[in-house]
Each structure stands twice: as C-alpha cells, then as structure tokens.
C-alpha cells in the first residue's frame, strides 16, 4: 500500500512545539520538528477521526480531556491520558502500525 502524502500547514495560531490535526492535515507553527514519528502519530489521529466521522471525534476529544482534567488537575497530564492520544503515543514510533490496526482501537485505551 502506497502511503499518501500528508499536508502540513504552517500557522501562527498553534503554540510552539505543538501540532494539530484538522481533518487529516497537520497544522503547526514550525515544520522543522515534524518527523516521521510525528506524522505517524497524526496519521493515527486521522484514522480515529475517519472512524468517528470527524466532528464527533473533536467533541469526544475535548469531552474526554475535560473529564481527565478533573481527575488529574493538570492539562498536560489530562491531554496525555486521552484515549486517542494514548493510542497515538503508544504506536507513533511503529510505522507499520496503521497497516494492521483494527478499527476503533482507541477504545482499548479508555
């Protein structure tokens, strides 16, 4: 299977050192740190978004972040514990992960 190119958009709205996946495109302030692992991490988010038909993904993402924020009292810790992020951080370094990933795998990280 040939890998599709990922579109990276430069934006000053994104805080330094972060990127955001908006409907499968990667938005970042500075492209220099975007390596293969980061792109793979974002591809995992794109797969999650497709499964949830995009808009519900963002709603669930923010809802889970808020619930985890109540538990952890740290926005960074809450972010890292969102099920979508746990799946993407666990497998971001495995460039073959998406070839064998089962649909809705983020549910394992709830």
Question: Using CA atoms, how far apart are residues 34 and 30, in angstroms rounded to an integer?
Answer: 8
Direct distance between the N- and C-terminal alpha carbons of the chain, in angstroms, rounded to an integer: 30
Say whether 19 sits in a helix, a strand or coil. Answer: strand
> Least Å distance between CB 45 and Zn ion?
5
> Which part of the chain contacts Zn ion (CB under 5 A), choosing from 1-9, 53-61, 64-72, 88-96?
88-96
Among 26, 47, 82, 88, binds Zn ion (CB under 5 A): 88
Binding mask of the shown chain, residues 31 to 60, with x at each position contacting Zn ion by CB under 5 A: ------------------------------
- As a whole number of Å, the CA-based R_g of the chain is 14
Size of the site for Zn ion (CB under 5 A): 2
Q: Which of residues 67-86 bind Zn ion (CB under 5 A)?
A: 85
Q: Exposed/middle/buried for 19, CB within 10 Å: 0-12, 13-18, 19+?
A: buried
Q: What does the binding site for Zn ion look like in residue numbers (CB under 5 A)?
A: 85, 88
């Amino acid at each position: 299977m040939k890998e599709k190119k990922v579109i990276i958009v430069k934006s000053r709205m994104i805080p330094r050192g972060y990127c955001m996946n908006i409907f499968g495109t990667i938005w970042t302030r500075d492209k220099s740190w975007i390596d293969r692992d980061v792109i793979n991490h974002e591809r995992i988010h794109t797969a999650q978004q497709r499964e949830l038909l995009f808009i519900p993904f963002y709603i669930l993402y923010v809802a889970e972040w808020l619930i985890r924020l109540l538990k952890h009292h740290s926005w960074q810790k809450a972010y890292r514990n969102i099920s979508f992020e746990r799946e993407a951080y666990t497998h971001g370094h495995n460039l073959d992960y998406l070839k064998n990933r089962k649909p809705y795998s983020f549910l394992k990280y709830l």
